[in-house]
Amino acid sequence: MRAALLEAPGEAIVLSDDVDIEDPRAGEVRVRITHCGACHSDLSIVDGTFPSALPIILGHEAAGVVDAVGDGVTSLAPGDPVVLTPAPPCGHCYWCVRGEHSLCVNADAIMSNTFADGTTRLSRDGAVVYRGLGVGAFGDYVVTQETGAVRIPSDIPLDIACVIGCAVQTGVGAVLNTARVPPGATVLIIGLGGVGLAAVQGARLAGAARVIVSDPVAERRETAARFGATDLVDPADDDLVARVLAITEVGADYAFDAVGRGSIVEACVNATRSGGTTVCVGAPPLEDVVTLAPAVLFAATEKKLLGCLLGSCNSHREVPRLLALWRAGLLDLEAMITTRRPLEEINEAFDDLRAARGVRTVLEL
C-alpha cells in the first residue's frame, strides 16, 4: 500500500508505495483511510521531541471505510464508515471495568506504536514498520482492533468526522469528562490549536460563565471568540495570571494547558483559585517538569492537578455524542478545519503546524 513514512527524526516524510499490511486477524478490522488530521503529537515525533522507533507511519486522527474484518467481528462490516480511535477500549481490563476507558491497556499503543504483542501488521522489505500513536493512518489502510473503529452514519462527511478522533474528543472531553466543569464556572484555556479550541467549545457546552483564553496568535484568539470565549488575552501584552485574577477576582475555577509545556501548567495552577482545578491536556516533551508551590501551600489551598488522555473518553460513547451535538448545531466541526491537502503535501501540513497557521490541516487520501 501507499503510506507516508518517517525514517529519521528531523527529516522530511517520504511517500512509499511498497509498505505491506496484513489481513486482519481475529477480532480485528482493516480500514481504508480517506482523511486524517495532522496533530501536534505527530509533529513531536517528526521533530524528535518524542523519541520513537522508526520507520513509522504517523497519523491518528482519522476516518475511513471498513475494508475487511477478521474472524469473530460482529459490530462492523465491509463498507461501514468509521472514525478511528487511538485508545480502543477492550471492555474487560482493570481500567475499562472501572469506566476509565481511555486508560485501557490498549492505549499503551499510543506510546509503544505496536499492538500489545509487539507486532504492527506493517512491514517493508520484510522489516517492521511502526503504527504511529497506535493507529498509523497516513497510509491507505489501517489494521486495528474491532473497538478501534467507531461506526458512524453514512451521511456524515468523513473529512468532518475525522477531527473527532483526537482534537475534538480530547478538547471537549477534557472539559466535560476529565474536569466535569459545571454550569456557571470560570474557565481558563491556554493554547488555541485544535485541542484548545475544542476545549473552548466544550466550556461553552458545559455552560461556563466566563471562558478566558490565551494564545499568541491573534487569528486563533478571534476564532475562540466565535466559539464562545468571553475574554481574550494576548500573552505578549499581558501578565496572564494577573489578568485572570483581575477578571475573576479570586482566580479561575478550572484551567487547561492545551499547549503541553511545564511552565504553562504552572501558570494554570497559579491562575486558579483556592480549590481550583488544573488539567494537563497537552503532551509536553519528556524532559519537561512541573514545579509547584511548597507542599504545605499546595495542600492548604486544596488546588487540584489532573492528567488527561484523549479527553478521558470512551470513544464508542463519545464519537456518537459529539456527532449528535454537531447535528444539533451545538458543536462546530467545520470551522476546526482550516486547510485540506492531499497526502503528497504532508510535509507542508506539518509546516502549517510549526508556524501555527490555521487550526487543523486535514490530509485527503
Tell whether 95 and 156 lie within a shared domain.
yes
The answer to the question of residue 324 being in a domain is: no
Q: In this predicted structure, what is the pLDDT of residue 205?
A: 98
Phi/psi at 346 (5° precision): -65, -35
CATH number, position 12? 3.90.180.10
CATH number, position 269? 3.40.50.720
Tell whether 148 and 180 lie within a shared domain.
no
Tell whether 132 and 212 lie within a shared domain.
no
Tell whether 196 and 174 lie within a shared domain.
yes
What SS3 class is residue 317?
Answer: helix
Which tens digit of pLDDT belongs to each residue from 37-57? Answer: 999 999 999 999 889 999 999
* Cβ atoms 84, 64 nearer than 8 A: yes
Tell whether 264 and 360 lie within a shared domain.
no
Tell whether 279 and 299 lie within a shared domain.
yes
Q: What average pLDDT score do residues 314-322 get?
A: 97
Per the structure, how many domains does the chain have? 2
* Cβ atoms 309, 166 nearer than 8 A: no
Q: In this predicted structure, what is the pLDDT of residue 290?
A: 87
The answer to the question of residue 343 being in a domain is: yes
Q: In this predicted structure, what is the pLDDT of residue 250?
A: 97
Q: In this predicted structure, what is the pLDDT of residue 314?
A: 97
Q: What average pLDDT score do residues 253-258 get?
A: 98
Structural domain range at position 181: 170-309
Q: In this predicted structure, what is the pLDDT of residue 204?
A: 98
Tell whether 348 and 304 lie within a shared domain.
no
Q: In this predicted structure, what is the pLDDT of residue 292?
A: 84
Which tens digit of pLDDT belongs to each residue from 320-330? Answer: 999 999 999 99
Q: Kindly list the distances between the CA atom of residue 120 and the CA atoms of 23, 29, 39, 353, in Å, as whole numbers in the listed order.
A: 12, 13, 21, 27
Tell whether 146 and 222 lie within a shared domain.
no
Q: What average pLDDT score do residues 216-231 get?
A: 96
Tell whether 151 and 202 lie within a shared domain.
no
Tell whether 40 and 154 lie within a shared domain.
yes
Q: In this predicted structure, what is the pLDDT of residue 294?
A: 80
Q: How confident is the model at residue 118 (pLDDT cuts 50, 70, 90)?
A: very high
- pLDDT top residue among 144 and 236: 144
**pTM confidence score:** 0.96
Q: In this predicted structure, what is the pLDDT of residue 295?
A: 79
Phi/psi at 310 (5° precision): 50, 35
Q: How confident is the model at residue 285 (pLDDT cuts 50, 70, 90)?
A: confident
Tell whether 10 and 123 lie within a shared domain.
yes
Q: How confident is the model at residue 337 (pLDDT cuts 50, 70, 90)?
A: very high
Q: How confident is the model at residue 142 (pLDDT cuts 50, 70, 90)?
A: very high
